[in-house]
Amino acid sequence: MPTALLTRDPAMAISYGVKVAALLVSLCVAIALAMDDDPATRLSRCWVDELGSRMRLTATPTGLLHGQYTAAVGTINHTRSVSIQGSWAPASALGSQALISFTVVWPYDKRGDAHSTAAWSGQLLQKTTGGKTTWWIEALWLLTTSQSPKSAWSATRVGRDRFVPCTSWK
């Protein structure tokens, strides 16, 4: 047993206590940094795109994604969230990025919401400037709406989204 614990010298006991506290703080910081570096942890949060659409993702260590999506554009009712289902894959080599894909479906209902589905495929990207690392999701999307057979050729639109971490879920 360390002598500082056996001593009756208060200064030595305080010195030992400070060293133990510093070690515990260092350990907590290391654990927090390791968790923050995990793609599942990094993906599990609220994200917002450049038009204000929001999604809340939960990523599992096994590569699954689920959550909620609320669109800020289009003909859907913007107050209604729809379910997200998807998957992610960790970076496979030095310098590569985690991959992500997910889909949402807006069912038709009597309120006039669009009967459509959207799929995103992209990467979780990072940039470090001045010691600060920023993360974002860059993805291409396909939006397909229900059309008559005559108009099926115009049923799918293509675009790009950039999602950044949001500060709150509104």
Q: Where are the domains of the chain?
A: 3-36, 39-165
Q: What is the pLDDT of residues 53-87, one digit of tens each?
A: 999 999 999 999 999 998 887 655 555 788 999 99
Beta strands, E only, 50-155:
54-59, 64-70, 82-89, 98-106, 116-129, 132-145
Of 109, 108, 98, whose CA–CA distance to 146 is shortest? 108
Cβ-based burial of 134 (10 A; exposed 0-12, middle 13-18, buried ≥19): exposed
Query: What superfamily would CATH give domain 39-165?
Result: Avidin-like (2.40.128.30)
93's tokens: 């080599």
Q: What is the pTM of this model?
A: 0.71
Reading the block at residue 47, the tokens are: 């994200």
User: What is the tens place of the pLDDT at every residue in 73-127?
Assistant: 765 555 578 899 999 998 876 667 899 999 998 876 665 556 788 999 999 998 8
